[in-house]
């Protein structure tokens, strides 16, 4: 583990919240379809979005469609596939798509190399492929070779490493760019960004947030450019619940003070 980082301080200002999904809001599971977002965490996310005037977004390697299934009925502002797709607070979508014939050719190549390998899973997204080897650790280097061979054929693609996964995604997109795009528009602009994430793809998000002198929070023990650290997913849940409780208390105090001032003016 690198230099010890402290737990984040209690946040007391006007913030914009950015959450990674897998390994941050939900515990990692053997298969991508097995993760669940607990009801109380959903509840706290909803409250935090309300308390920050909607300045809360998910920024994930998963597709927007997938993320919406986990958070329904809420449709948060969201960046999916590491920023290749994004939906703003008004529901407007910005999609960087790949040509259909390119997606077809990649799918075919990946299937011919990897489809019958036990424990390797090809996850297809609208403009990317994630190659999972959590259940075939001895195949890691073969999976990486295949991903590199694909990327070598297309100038518009790049690799993204993750936990037991290597992804083939469009070049030039990353979570940092997604943070900048959200921060340029309401209700995020003018607020201090906070980003929580656990994996390599989140480092670009931390870097962007650090540029705003914001609050970057690494979940887990690996090396990072984040400035604060939380131990694991349950620690994120506890932090979220504590922040919501604090903001609610502040809102109640402000409202009582307003009542009192209006009462004293009426005397």
Ligand X SMILES: O=P(O)(O)OC[C@H]1O[C@H](O[C@H]2O[C@H](CO)[C@@H](O)[C@H](O)[C@H]2O)[C@H](O)[C@@H](O)[C@@H]1O
- Give 51 or 204: the residue with its C-beta nearer to ligand X: 204
Q: How many CB atoms lie within 10 A of CB 221?
A: 13
Q: Does 220 bind ligand X (CB under 6 A)?
A: no
Beta strands at 128-132 and 121-125: parallel, antiparallel or unpaired: antiparallel
d(C-alpha 42, C-alpha 145), whole Å: 39
Single out the residue of 11, 28, 105, 192 in contact with ligand X (rule: CB under 6 A).
28
Residue 64 CB, shortest distance to ligand X, in Å, is: 12
Contact 198, 171 (CB under 8 A): no
Alpha helices in 115-219 (DSSP H): 140-153, 175-183, 203-211
**Cβ atoms 197, 22 nearer than 8 A:** no
Q: Does 201 bind ligand X (CB under 6 A)?
A: yes
Cα torsion 217, 123, 26, 190: sign: positive
State yes or no: residue 226 binds ligand X (CB under 6 A).
no
Confirm or reject binding of residue 203 to ligand X (CB under 6 A).
Answer: no
Q: Based on the shown chain and the rule CB under 6 A, indicate whether residue 83 belongs to the binding site for ligand X.
A: no
Among 16, 52, 61, 226, binds ligand X (CB under 6 A): 61
62 contributes a contact to ligand X by CB under 6 A: yes
**Number of residues forming the site for ligand X (CB under 6 A):** 24
Report the C-alpha gap between 146 and 163 in whole angstroms. 17
Strand-pairing partners, residue 107, are: none
259 among known catalytic residues? no
Q: Give the whole-angstrom CA distance, residue 196 versus residue 217.
A: 5
CB of 135 vs ligand X, minimal distance in Å = 9
Does the protein bind ligand X through residue 144 (CB under 6 A)?
no
Of 132, 139, 191, 218, the one binding ligand X (CB under 6 A) is: 132
Find the shortest distance in angstroms from Cβ 161 to ligand X. 10
One of 8, 23, 83, 193 touching ligand X (CB under 6 A): 23
Nearest to 208 by CA among 108, 122, 40, 79: 79
Who contacts 47 (Cβ-Cβ below 8 Å, separation ≥6)?
Answer: 244, 248
Q: Mark 149-168 with x for binding to ligand X (rule: CB under 6 A) and - for no binding.
A: -------------xxxx-x-
Set 20, 22, 68, 202: catalytic member? 20
Q: Does 217 bind ligand X (CB under 6 A)?
A: no
Residue numbers at the binding site for ligand X (CB under 6 A): 20-23, 28-32, 35, 60-62, 123, 130, 132, 134, 162-165, 167, 199, 201
**Residues marked as catalytic:** 20
């Amino acid at each position: 583990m690198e230099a010890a980082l402290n737990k984040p301080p209690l946040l007391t200002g006007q913030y914009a919240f950015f959450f990674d999904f897998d390994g941050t809001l939900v515990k990692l599971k053997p298969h991508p379809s097995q993760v669940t977002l607990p009801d109380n965490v959903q509840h706290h996310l909803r409250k935090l979005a309300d308390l920050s005037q909607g300045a809360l977004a998910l920024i994930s390697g998963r597709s927007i469609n997938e993320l919406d299934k986990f958070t329904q009925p809420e449709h948060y502002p969201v960046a999916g596939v590491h920023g290749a797709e994004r939906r703003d607070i008004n529901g407007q979508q910005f999609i960087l798509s790949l040509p259909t014939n390119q997606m077809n050719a990649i799918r075919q190549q990946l299937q011919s190399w990897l489809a019958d390998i036990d424990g390797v899973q090809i996850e297809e997204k609208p403009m990317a492929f994630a190659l999972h080897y959590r259940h075939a650790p001895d195949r890691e280097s073969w999976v990486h070779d295949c991903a590199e061979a694909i990327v070598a054929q297309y100038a518009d693609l790049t690799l993204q490493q993750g936990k037991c996964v290597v992804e083939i995604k469009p070049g030039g997109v990353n979570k940092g760019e997604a943070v900048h795009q959200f921060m340029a528009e309401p209700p995020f602009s003018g607020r201090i960004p906070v980003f929580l994430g656990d994996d390599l793809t989140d480092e670009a998000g931390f870097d962007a947030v650090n540029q705003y002198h914001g609050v970057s929070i690494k979940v887990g023990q690996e090396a990072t450019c984040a400035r604060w650290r939380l131990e694991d997913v349950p620690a994120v849940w506890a932090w979220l619940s504590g922040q919501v409780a604090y903001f609610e208390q502040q809102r109640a105090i402000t409202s009582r003070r307003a009542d009192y001032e209006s009462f004293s003016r009426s005397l």
